[in-house]
Amino acid sequence: MLADDPALTARARGGRDPRRVIADPCLRTAAEAKIYAPAERPPLLVTAVEDDARLAPFRARGVEILHLSAPDGHFDLNALMATLGARDIVSLMVEAGGCFAGALLDARLVHKLRLYLAPLLIGGRDAIPALAALGAATLADAPRLRDAVWTRLGEDWRVEGYVGYA
């Protein structure tokens, strides 16, 4: 989110737009970010920050704020899901960076995965991984996609499947 400033608006026809939930324990995103733009349902910011001065610009944009502790700057993901569930948010579509996506997989909280791949070979020692923190010690322990469906989108590919944990 910090790198590309996505709006995360739904493009589906009909129905209501899904609610945007932003998990930002240290409040690194700017209140002016596109994701906080007014919408049919106000964005929900989950943060450990309780400083009213830092939160004021978010409140001014109509953002609903939910506090959750984040020891070491990271949420306990099961506590985050329980907190959202208590607010009747029981299904999430997550757009995440490699660390958060990997942590969700490590916590076995991903049921269905949709991954977009471009024909670009990037990397390096300091590169940001697509899926960081995956705790599989061996290939046999790695999560697998079941019933995977590959779809070509121009030069890119989308793969969707259900995550099977070892």
Q: 81 with 35, same domain?
A: yes
Cα distance between residue 58 and residue 76, in whole Å: 23
Together in a domain, 110 and 59: no
Is 83 found in the same domain as 10? yes
Query: Do 90 and 113 reside in the same domain of the chain?
Result: no
Strand partners, 158: 116, 151
Query: Are residues 50 and 110 located together in one domain of the fold?
Result: no
Same domain, 51 and 129: no
* pLDDT over 70 percentage in the chain: 91
- Work out the end-to-end distance of the chain between its first and last CA atoms, rounded to an integer number of angstroms: 30
> Mean pLDDT score of the chain, rounded to an integer?
89
Last residue in a domain, options 46, 62, 95: 95
CB neighbour list of residue 83: distance below 8 Å, 6 or more residues apart: 46, 66, 68
Q: How many domains does the chain have?
A: 2
How far apart (Å, rounded) are the C-alpha atoms in residues 27 and 46?
9
- Whether residues 89 and 134 share a domain: the answer is no
Whether 79 and 101 map to the same domain: the answer is no
Q: What is the pLDDT of residues 42-51, one digit of tens each?
A: 899 999 999 9
pTM: 0.83
Q: Given this model, what pLDDT does residue 4 score? A: 72
- Predicted confidence at residue 96, as pLDDT, reads 85
Token reading at 44: 């929900």
The CATH number of whichever domain residue 9 belongs to comes to 3.40.430.10
State the pLDDT at residue 81.
Answer: 95
Residues with Cβ within 8 Å of residue 49, at least 6 apart in sequence: 25, 26, 27, 55
- Shared-domain flag, residues 104 and 124: yes
Q: Identify the domain boundary among 95, 113, 128.
A: 95
Q: Which domain holds residue 166?
A: 97-166
Shared domain for 62 and 137, answered yes or no, is no
| Residues with Cβ within 8 Å of residue 146, at least 6 apart in sequence | 161, 162, 163, 164
* One domain, residues 83 and 103: no
Do residues 127 and 165 both lie within one domain? yes
Closest CA relative to residue 96, chosen from 104, 88, 87: 104
Strands laid side by side in the 21-23 sheet: 21-23, 44-47, 64-67
| pLDDT < 50 stretches in the chain | none
Domain's final residue, options 69, 95, 121: 95
The beta strands (E) that lie in 6-165 are given as 21-23, 44-47, 64-67, 112-117, 144-153, 156-164
